[in-house]
Structure 1
């Protein structure tokens, strides 16, 4: 069985290049994206869904559940990196790249602490997915998927070290070590939807 790793749908703050507060919901386009990826996953045989409990991810997971009938388990381990007091601020006004900084922002989470949490999240996904009679959909955030790719997945040798993951992109991974990537950042289910807003891959 495979892990079907999905980034949440678009939000208005994604488009505005803003670090997102925890309660940020999907935009209308994001909800359409979520329905589209749900229909794609319905064809793949999803047995269960493991999701971040933040609204933008959970709303995406709920669309997948509506399409597949699979139950949802939520975990805070899959939440996006916590940028603390910087949430709600635009990337461009910070004077640095928050997506790669190692230090903890005020009231937030450092790079090492974030990666340690992602490691626990990935271990939970593998534990949950391995015995399933079907695939496990993992619904989370851009930086979480990038950290998983950097630490836990065996990527194709022709891929760059720093990866971008688009809204509702699908990455499929073997549930068993060495966790080979079978499909990376695929958004073909979004063909025909309006052009994306151009937000960054974190959030």
Structure 2
């Protein structure tokens, strides 16, 4: 299967204001975020990215616009990768929200958390995982098993996808850190995903392209790509 690079949008004006932006319109990148976005071309190096799939929100579009244009690609907008609908919490100061009784649920039992007037975190994970798996299968079919693609989304959305890929319950997803403009990398196979990177904020990721391998022999299910290396990886 293809390799998925999960990219959190670069630092936004809301990230530095202490408010929960959610799906509020007009939230773009701040100066630091624009610098982070400008550095993506160098970070991705010569990786042959097949597609950029993005949340419909402005901060994600701004994050990938330059790097996608430099590769002659038009980002595909995927509504299921949009930010959490925080409902009545949208636009409120985080320091106020920590006093809400629901805050403890969000932190300790997120699978049960439903934002007033919004959606539940379990719903977020379901829609996001379905979206990336569908796009991954489509891109694999169109571009081959060694294709790479980028999905640009939001912190909690990416954390929920990584939690699913690593096989941990959503109640543990708050243990995963996803900083602005970080990349986390997942490779899906027939029988399991492999989490290759989490919260990488600066290193060269050009080594992600897997080497061409022979197809699985007839009658074999899953093939070598679905098998973990016994004793651990020997490196690139």
Q: TM-score range by the shorter chain?
A: 0.7 to 0.9
- 1:119 maps to 129
1:92-131 matches, cutoff 5 A: 92-94=95-97, 95=99, 96=103, 100=107, 101=110, 102-131=112-141
Structure 1: any 5+ residue segments left out of the alignment? 191-203
Cα-to-partner distance string for 1:38-83 (whole Å, 9 max, x where unaligned): 3322421111111111111111121220233233111110011110
User: How large is the RMSD of aligned CA atoms in angstroms?
Assistant: 2.3
Alignment of 1:48-67 (within 5 A): 48-67=51-70
Q: Give the match for residue 71 of structure 2.
A: 68
Whether the 8 Å contact between 1:46 and 1:70 is mirrored in structure 2 is no
Matching of residues 187-198 of structure 1 within 5 Å: 187-188=201-202
Length-normalised TM-score, structure 1 = 0.81
Structure 1 runs, 4 residues or longer, greater than 6 Å off: none
Q: Look up the match of 1:142.
A: 155
For these two proteins, the number of residue pairs brought into alignment is 186
Matched residues in 1 for 2:87 and 2:130: separation? 21
With 165-174 and 34-43 compared, the bigger mean Cα shift is at 34-43
Gap runs ≥5 in structure 2: 205-236
**Relative to structure 1, is the Cα distance of residues 90 and 189 closer, same or farther in structure 2, using a 3 angstrom cutoff?**
farther
Cα distance change on mapping 1:16 and 1:41 into 2, 3 Å: same
Change (3 A) 1:91 1:138: same
In structure 1, the residue matched to 2:223 is none
